[in-house]
Amino acid sequence: MTTKDKGDQKELQKYLSAWQKRHQEYLEKKSQEKASETDEEERNDETFETSESTETNETDSSEEEKEVQNTNKKRILAVTACPTGIAHTYMAEAALKEAGEKLGVDVKVETNGADGIKNNLTSNDINEAVGIIVAADKKVETARFNDRKVIVTSTADAIKNAEILIKRVLNNEAPIFKAEADNNPKEDIQETNSIGRIIYKSIMSGVSNMLPFVIGGGILLALSFVVERFMGENQLFKLLFDVGAGAFHFLIPILAGFIAMSIADKPGFMPGAVAGYMASQGAGFLGGLIGGFIAGYSIIFLKKMTKNMSKQFDGMKSMVIYPIFSLVITGVLMYFIIVPIFTKVNLIVANWLNNMGTVNAVVLGAILGGMMSVDMGGPINKAAYTFSIGVFTDTGNGAFMAAVMAGGMVPPLAIALAMTLFKNNFDEKEKQSTISNFILGLSFITEGAIPFAAKEPVKVIGSCIVGAAIAGGLTQFWSVSAPAPHGGIFVIPAMPSVHSAIFFVVSIAIGAIISGVIFGILRGKKIN
């Protein structure tokens, strides 16, 4: 390095040192200025903060109190489920939540509705809960509640007695639930106390899963008849008819399959569906129903027979033993006993219906129509509806389908008419449901009347039974026949004749008016 280069380097170092010094001084100055500004801002905000401190503290305190209260709330879980998953499921949910708020209890409800399971109960929920209420009219998953305090009841009971059920849980009156100690836990031990309830829940499980096929297939078949009437047997007619008829072919296999599954879990579905298929060849609806029970209990029998087998064979049980032997047992009984017997029974029923006199038809129609209003979606309602579906699917006779449809439409229409004709007898909150009840009634959704029936069961149910029975009887008097198992007024265009369409509407109108007037009078003037 030359002397000149060394000199340049020294000058550069001096310059850099001077610059670093000035830069450091600059940074220190800016830091001081910033600190000064911060202090000033704090002084300017001090008064404002002080003025709001009391209010803020009060708000925070209030929020903390609420949080503490929520934390300290006892939690009760619930599961609600009805066969159709439309009304009772959600009404039971609402009743339980309302009762929980009244009693200061946090209630979380899992709904098993038509659109699937909502608000699922987690394992943490179950562990933290003081008890569980299972309000279900069909099978739901209960194995997860093993060793927990559980009350098993119906949706109707939950709607009417939600507060009582919650109090039972809080008072430690709920029994300890024990699930079966195998790989496929099924029903809780409480349900074994009532054979009738087991049968009902199994049938409703089958019916609820069958209904989409009934409604969808029935409506498409009805639409195909409309197309045929106005457009002839064209391609659209064939499409609608084939798809609707295809759905109908699944009715009995689905019914039997899910009955068996309700009894024996998943292993029961296959033999049950096969039993239903065999029944559909002649034994019909009743044959399929019984076949479902045979299939389900054949699995239960096989489970007991193989209970002491080594766990090494668990896979073989579900994949080999259960399918093969349950199918053999079910198939033999169906082939040699059930199908021959119920094929003859169906022929007898068909002949009886064809030769039934007007008086007998009117009486039976009135009984079926009245039954639709007794519990509005409950066991009696479903019994009448299931009977009519059985006749409809086995014989094609839609007369009794018309009776139950008319009877089921009367209650919500009657409630809506009562609130329209006797406005002073209802409060504003009640009258808000007028339009919805008209819509539900016209759509053949009986459950719209349940909130009123829950409040005043004698007045509502009594008046509705009268009108529903009259409507059902009139449909038979005027020889009305329904072309589909559901749909309300929306199936009118598909009615087999103008006569049926007109008198179907007239029957419903007469029944609804009579029930509406009776209820309106019985209700009396509302005292504000």
* Active-site residue list: 82
3-22 core/surface letters (b: 16 or more CB in 10 A; e: else): eeeeeeeeeeeeeeeeeeee
Instruction: Look up residue 298 and give its two tokens.
Output: 């054949």
CA 314 to each of CA 89, 137, 474: distance values in angstroms, whole numbers, following the listed order: 36, 31, 58
Phi, psi of 118 (to 5 degrees): -120, 150
Task: For Cα atoms 363, 369, 374, give the angle at the middle one, nearest 5 degrees.
Answer: 120
* Contact between residue 225 and residue 259 where contact means Cβ atoms under 8 Å apart: no
- The number of residues making up the chain comes to 528
Give me the residues paired with residue 153 across strands. 135
Q: Give one word for 223, left, alpha or beta, with left for phi > 0 and alpha for psi -120 to 50.
A: alpha
Burial class (CB in 10 A: 0-12, 13-18, 19+), 341: middle
Q: Where are the beta strands (DSSP E) in 124-189?
A: 131-136, 150-153
Q: What b-and-e string marks burial along 150-163, b requiring 16 or more CB atoms within 10 Å of the CB? A: bbbbbbbbbbbbbe
Task: Give me 70's structure tokens.
Answer: 């929520």
CB 249 within 8 A of CB 220: no
DSSP letter (8 states) at residue 478: T
Report strand pairing: 150-153 vs 106-113: unpaired
Element (H, E) at 131: strand 131-136
Torsion of CA 276, 277, 278, 283, to 10 degrees: 60
Of 401, 396, 390, which Cα lies nearest the Cα of 365?
401
DSSP 120: P
Residue 53 CB partners (closer than 8 Å, separation 6+): none
Two tokens, residue 39: 């202090």
Phi and psi at 133, nearest 5°, equal -115, 120
CA distance 277 to 283: 10
What gap in Å lies between CA 365 and CA 403, rounded to an integer?
5
